Amino acid sequence: MERILVTGGGGFIGSHLASHLFSEGNFVRVVDVKFDDFMEEQYYSEKSQMDLRIWENCLTATKRIDKVYNLAANMGGIGFITSVGAEVMHDNVLINTHMLEASKQNKVKRYLYSSSACVYPTYKQTDPDVIGLREEDAYPADPDNFYGWEKLYTEKLCEAYQRDYGIDIRVLRYHNVFGPEGTYEGGREKSPAALCRKVAEASNPGTISV
């Protein structure tokens, strides 16, 4: 059994991840600033509601933890992250800087950071015949929004912590992720979820030409 922390454990990806790790017999601590309670069954060993923009909370969250899955972020669908810039960058830089330093001080063995496909430059995605993006295509940098710039910055921060302190760090770049128990309304939902909701709620189903 490993002692695992999932930040953002009240969100869609975090709750599903925590549920999987918990089902494998691990001790799973979930931390989030709020819990939507979409998951009806218990999917954690320990639950804490705290704001990870605050340094002391990050120290508390990472105590006696072997692995950190850092999914905590102020984020939402494309409509949200293209309309909100300063709040997203401010909150997420604080969360990620504190979480990395707290993990170092508490001697966490392995750390995962959840980045985003928003780090990729716009000039690589203007052609409809675009070639599949590779990890190295994030440079030269030109993310299309502030959220993407914050994610790319934190990727480099992770690289620096791994180089300077020897922390075993992994980085994932998510694209659109949606499914059961996910956000589907309110302005922070992903595009596929919003489209499905609009179809389901349409008052006029229209017609299909065969």
Candidate ranges 21-25, 74-78, 120-124; pick with highest mean pLDDT = 21-25
- Enter the tokens of residue 47: 């639950």
Q: Check if 161 is active-site.
A: no
Give the single-character DSSP code of 132.
P
Split into its structural domains, the chain has a count of 1
Q: Specify the pLDDT at position 12.
A: 87
The reply to whether 157 falls in a domain is yes
**210: in domain:** no
pLDDT tens digits along 48-103:
999 999 999 999 999 999 999 999 998 766 677 777 889 999 999 999 999 999 99
Domain that holds residue 110: 3-201
Whether 184 is covered by a domain: the verdict is: yes
Q: Indicate the pTM of the whole model.
A: 0.83
**Selected catalytic residue, list 43, 44, 69, 147:** 147
On whether residue 16 sits in a domain, the answer given is: yes
CATH of the domain at 12: 3.40.50.720
Please report, rounded to a whole number, the percentage of residues in the chain having pLDDT higher than 90: 63
Residues 6 or more apart whose CB falls under 8 angstroms from that of 178 comprise: 12, 184, 189, 190, 192, 193
- Whether residue 138 lies inside any domain: the answer is yes
What DSSP string runs through 177-205?
---TT---SSS-S-HHHHHHHHHHH-S--
Contact 61, 29 (CB under 8 A): yes
Instruction: Tell me if 206 is assigned to some domain.
Output: no
Domain-embedded: residue 100: yes
Please indicate, yes or no, if residue 207 is contained in any of the structural domains.
Answer: no
Type of residue found at 178: F
Q: How far apart are the first and last CA of the chain?
A: 56
